Amino acid sequence: MSTLRVSNIEAKADASSPTINEKVKITNSTGDVMLHLNGETSGITTVGINTTAAAFTVDGAQNVNFVGVVTAASLSGNLTGNVTGQLSGIQTSITVQSSGSITVGDKFINSTGVGVGTTTTAGRNAGVGTAQGTLIYNTTTGNLEAYGRDGWVSVKTLVTRTGMTASGGVVSEYTDPGPGNIYRSHIFTATGTFEVTSLSLDFPNTVDYLVVAGGGGGGGFRHGSGGGAGGYRTSAGTSGGGAGAESVLPVSVGSYAVTVGGGGGGGKSTTGAPNTGSPGSDSVFSTITSIGGGGGIGANPSGSGLPGGSGGAASRSGSGGIGTTGQGYPGGSGGGLYNGSGGGGAGAAGEDYAGSPRGSNGGAGVTSTITGSSETRAGGGGGGAMTPVSTTVGTGGPGGGGDGGTFTTKGVDGTATTGGGGGGNGGSTPPDAGAAGGSGGSGIVVVRYQIGTTETGTAKATGGAISFSGGNTIHQFLSSGTFTITDSSLTSVNYLVVGGGGAGGHLGGGGGGAGGFRNGSSFPVNPSPGVYPVTIGGGGAISPQDPHTTSGPPGSNSIFSSITSAGGGGGARGGDNSGANNGLSGGSGGGGAYGASSGGAGNTPPTSPPQGNNGAGGDGPPNFRGAGGGGGAGGTGTAGSPTGGGAGGNGTASSISGTSTTYAGGGGGGGNNGQPGGSGGPGGGGAGSPDGATATQGTQSTGGAGGGGGGGFPGYGRGANGGSGIVIISYPT
């Protein structure tokens, strides 16, 4: 039994204000001092208050331990030591000494850090911390997440997650601005292989895809109609033909063949069936096939456009060719005496006959961001207009569709790597330059998959397909664009600039010359304003007119800043033994035709170091059996011989993209009198063909040249187009 002892109580006049002047000590039955007032502290070891609902204790080390909830309107001073339990209603600061902490469940605050609560996605969605500003660690996703007005958002990934590993094509890595996912795209502008070497443990082993086929050629001979765009299929956005996005494609370790369809040739300048544009070729990735665009038709004879991925346009009373469901739209119908109708696009039908003032417009294509950049592809070709009777040609549909031609110009080719349809012609008879339709543009295949944040970097500029390899940031331009510096620390770059390859000549013609090849390091750039236009040279495009009269057209220049790489020279046309058919000059020179001919000069205009090499001459009398090969960036073409066409010159390898790749190979010369064509040079050069056959085109995005066509029997051997160029810019990440 405890005893309360009071030694003295002094009475006061004011009974309402008693005062205790002596010491007060309260002890328990064992002698422990429980409370001692008026400054006497000796021997006090514990102060405690116990109730049936809550308790706190203060031990000899002055650690305060709470059990239950402490509620206060204010708390003055600092609270030190270790504090456990729940604090609510405290309207002042709490200071925790370096050795102390505040712990609530799995949350804590101490001098070395703050620990937020952990939960799963299921637990989070069940209502964990739905007040705005709540912060959690989600063990399902490995992300630090916060709750705001738009719901839960990822603040930071706290685990190392990696995607699958694959190779093939041109690589682009980017962050999708919508959900914030990071993707790696593989862009194929030429036939190749998508090779999966390992699968991901963190992300779905599926791929998105975009597969665009080659566009159809425009109609020839009299105000032809536009060619239809190549078929357009995708799992990463709205596809053509009114259908929605398709399902993603599961993949496993292994090889997946990629076929990129070429554009169809334009209709020729004669009456009858040849005035119809050729259909484009199919593009294929795994089980996904997009159908080549339908060809447009000329006015003589009147007829309907060809079906395809998107349909070619009709002339006069004909109907537009139908498109393939889910891939594209029909071509325009009708067509008047002086105007063609428009080819179908992946996003809209071609325009029907628009009346005598103008040609009709091609159907619009579809826009996609699957490569990391917003690009529109698969537009239909515009209808031709027989000026000056008609005043305006039809425009190609957005997405690479070629414009229609006039009385003196042929239909414009569809843009390479877009699947755009070729424009219809505008002339009426073979002497008119406009009597031929434009060729369709080649297609493209893009494959993408999700990767982790640790697999990419941060670019200091925008433009092109951006990837990261070997500590460098790489910008690859497959089409014209702009390199824009966004980080002022970037003051110099490395570069590779390759011009478009030249086309091969016809009828035992020489191989085309490769596009000029220029590279360098530590090239100064100015971050202010830091905007550099980039031009990608197209490959020389074969005229669909009479092959007797035309050498291969040269490629176009590629440009970055003050660096210009010239287009490759065209291969000479054959068809006679005069010896006058020499190769054309360019970045690398085109090959000469069979006969006493010579190759074209390379490195034209001259640069130091040289950007290309000479083409070779053809086989002379008495055999006349082979044309010369075009020059390449790494070597001259090989001369034609009694055993056939000469090989194209070697290209040059570069590792600026992160992978050793050879560019700018020369085209092989055509064979004649029963002999084979020469091989294309390594670096995208196309092979020459034997008698009566069409040569192989140069590879897109390499500056490789087209091969020379074979001799004239049993049919006309046709040269082939050169490949487009490329610009690559790199710098330390």
370 and 481 in a single domain? The answer is: no
Q: Are residues 450 and 461 in the same domain?
A: no
Backbone angles phi, psi at 12, to 5 degrees: -120, 155
Distance CA 703, CA 666 (A): 9
What average pLDDT does range 619-628 have in this prediction? Answer: 92
Check whether 610 has a pLDDT greater than 90: yes
Q: Is 595 a residue whose pLDDT tops 80?
A: yes
Q: Has residue 544 got a pLDDT over 90?
A: no
Residue 46 above 60 pLDDT?
no
Looking at per-residue pLDDT, the higher value among 23 and 260 belongs to 260
Closest residue by Cα to residue 663 from 467, 442, 498: 498
Domain check: are 228 and 135 in the same one? Answer: no
d(CA 534, CA 477): 8
Range scoring the smallest mean pLDDT among 37-46, 505-514, 711-720: 37-46
Mean pLDDT score, 196-213: 95
What pLDDT is attached to residue 76?
Answer: 45
Distances 464 to 412, 481, 513 between C-alpha atoms, Å: 25, 7, 26
For residues 303 and 196, the model is more confident at: 196
State the Cα–Cα distance between residues 429 and 437, nearest whole angstrom: 13
DSSP 551-565: PPPPPPPEEETTEEE
pLDDT tens readout for residues 245-254: 788 999 999 9
Model's pTM, two decimal places?
0.77
152 with 231, same domain? no
- Please say if the pLDDT value at position 603 is more than 90: yes
- Could you say which of 419, 438, 454 is where a domain stops? 454
Same domain? For 720 and 598 the reply is yes
Inside any domain, residue 18:
no
Amino acid (1-letter code) at residue 692 = G
Q: Are 58 and 133 within one domain?
A: no
- Is residue 214's pLDDT more than 80? yes
Q: What percent of the chain has pLDDT over 70?
A: 80
**Torsion angle of C-alpha atoms 105, 107, 108, 113, degrees rounded to 10:** 160
Between CA 125 and CA 96 the distance in angstroms is: 33
* 481 part of a folded domain: yes
Residue pLDDT, tens place only, 662-676:
999 999 999 999 999
pLDDT in tens, 136-168: 888 777 778 888 877 888 777 666 678 899 999
Model pLDDT, residue 192: 95
pLDDT at 390: 78
Q: Do residues 505 and 638 share a domain?
A: yes
Looking up tokens 């991901």, which residue turns up? 200
CA 85/CA 603 separation, integer angstroms: 82
SS3 480: coil
Backbone angles phi, psi at 671, to 5 degrees: -85, 160
Residue 652 has pLDDT above 70, yes or no: yes
Q: Check whether 64 has a pLDDT greater than 90.
A: no
Distance CA 36, CA 22 (A): 11
Residues 128, 129, 130, 135: is their CA dihedral positive or negative? Answer: negative
With cut-offs at 50, 70 and 90, classify the pLDDT of residue 54. Answer: very low
Which pLDDT value is given to residue 606?
A: 97
What's the pLDDT score for residue 315?
85
Structural domain containing residue 207: 164-454
Domain for residue 488, yes or no? Answer: yes
618 within domain boundaries:
yes
Let me know whether 351 and 275 are in one domain.
Answer: yes
Question: 484 and 380: one domain?
Answer: no
Q: Which residue has the higher pLDDT, 284 or 240?
A: 284
Is residue 75 very low, low, confident or very high in pLDDT (cuts 50, 70, 90)? very low
Mean pLDDT of 617-642: 95
Hey, which of 33-47, 86-100, 341-355, 420-434 has the most confident mean pLDDT?
A: 341-355
Per-residue DSSP letter, 573: P
Question: Does the residue 263 lie in any domain?
Answer: yes
Q: What percent of the chain has pLDDT over 90?
A: 59
What's the confidence (pLDDT) of residue 80? 47
Is the model's pLDDT at 465 over the cut of 80?
yes
Other C-beta atoms closer than 10 Å to the C-beta of 103 total 15
Residue 26 lies in a domain: no
Mean pLDDT of all residues in 5-11? 54
* Residue 263, phi-psi category: left (phi > 0), alpha (psi -120 to 50), beta (remainder): beta
Average pLDDT rounded to a whole number, residues 54-72: 59
Bigger pLDDT: 434 vs 327: 327
- Residue 256: what pLDDT? 98
Q: What is the pLDDT of residues 547-572, one digit of tens each?
A: 566 789 999 999 999 999 999 999 99
* Of residues 667, 704, 424, 661, the one with CA closest to residue 538: 704
- Vertex 348 angle, CA 420 and 257, to 5°: 45
Whether residue 556 sits in one domain with residue 661 = yes
Mean pLDDT of the chain: 85
Name the residue among 443, 388, 386, 401 with its Cα closest to residue 218. Answer: 401
Lowest mean pLDDT among 127-131, 194-198, 621-625: 127-131
pLDDT at residue 176, as a whole number: 84
SS3 content of the chain, % helix, strand, coil (to 5): 0, 25, 70
* Highest mean pLDDT pick, 106-110, 300-304, 381-385, 453-457: 381-385
Q: Is residue 593 part of a domain?
A: yes
Q: Which pLDDT score is estimated for 602?
A: 98
Domain boundary among 454, 481, 514: 454
DSSP string, 151-203: EEEEEEE-S-----EEE-SEEEEEE-TTT--EEEEEEESSSEEEEEEE--SSS
pLDDT surpasses 60 at 79: no
Same domain, 287 and 181: yes
Q: 3-state DSSP call for residue 617?
A: coil
Domain count, the chain: 4
Domain boundary among 157, 185, 220: 157
| Segment 621-627 mean pLDDT | 92
Domain match, 89 and 177 both: no
Element (DSSP H or E) covering residue 264: none
Q: With respect to residue 27, please indicate whether it lies within any of the assigned structural domains.
A: no
- Taking the C-alpha atoms of residue 429 and residue 197, their distance in angstroms, rounded to an integer, is 56
d(CA 140, CA 505): 62
pLDDT of residue 275: 83
Cβ proximity of 272 and 291 under 8 Å: no
Q: Does the pLDDT of residue 503 top 80, yes or no? A: yes
| Tens digit of each residue's pLDDT (9 = 90 or more) over 569-588 | 999 998 776 656 899 999 99
